[in-house]
Amino acid sequence: MSTQTKPRTSYWERRKGSIYLFAAHQICDKFCEAPKSVIDIGSRRTPTLEWHRDSAERLVSIDLRQPYAARGVVSVKGDFLDYRPDAPFDLVTCFQVLEHVPDAGAFAKKLLETGRVVIVSVPYKWKKGKCKSHVHDPVDEAKMRRWFGRTPDYSYVARELSGIARLIQVYRSDSPRANEGAASRYLRAIRNRLRSIK
């Protein structure tokens, strides 16, 4: 009896038929139709940048270890927090990354500074310990609001047939909600100042 090991399937092969990726693609098309420049953060060799190949003149993939590499794609191996783009992007995508990042708030702020439309996905309400590399589970809308300092412009929960859910959110720089975080920080500072006077 031979003991053959099955070849390991890639991260993309395991996920490419996911409902959340189908939903994320539709959401990208809805909120940023025909972007001229797109950056995907934490790509892990996934080809989601290909969704925008027809319109984008500038495609960038950044990942700590495995940026997506293809014709016409600038692949950056490095830490997104250290990345300094030449100009803002029309679209920033970041799928299933924030839950791995120790300082998710700083990462979220950098996402918002990097482009006009930011679309992110995170595991939705996964139990702590379900995935060893997740440092923030469970993630929900309240946690995302703290990280991004504002309410998203759009929010959608995509559920797989297995029951696993992922939260997809959209943040636009031209939204009235864009200044929400600054306004609430200002009001908190005023309240704290008033308390200290009493």
| Concatenated DSSP letters of 70-124 | -TTEEEEES-GGG---SS-EEEEEEES-GGG-TTHHHHHHHHHHHEEEEEEEEE-
Point out which residues pair with 95 in neighbouring strands. Answer: 121
> pTM for this structure?
0.84
pLDDT band, very low/low/confident/very high, at 119 (cuts 50, 70, 90): very high
The pLDDT, as a whole number, for residue 7 is: 62
Q: Is the pLDDT score of 189 beyond 70?
A: no
Q: Where are the domains of the chain?
A: 11-197
Predicted confidence (pLDDT) per residue in 34-51, tens digit: 999 999 999 999 999 999
Homologous superfamily in CATH for domain 11-197:
Vaccinia Virus protein VP39 (3.40.50.150)
Rounded Cα distance between 46 and 13, Å, is 9
Q: Is the pLDDT score of 194 beyond 80?
A: no
Look up residue 143 and give its amino acid.
K
**Which residues lie below 8 Å from residue 82, measured CB to CB, with a gap of 6+?**
none
Least confident of 4-8, 125-129, 166-170, 194-198: 4-8
Predicted confidence (pLDDT) per residue in 144-172, tens digit: 999 999 999 999 999 999 999 999 999 99
Tell me what the mean pLDDT of segment 173-190 comes to: 69
Least confident of 51-60, 108-117, 171-180: 171-180
Point out which residues pair with 181 in neighbouring strands. Answer: none
The pLDDT, as a whole number, for residue 134 is: 76
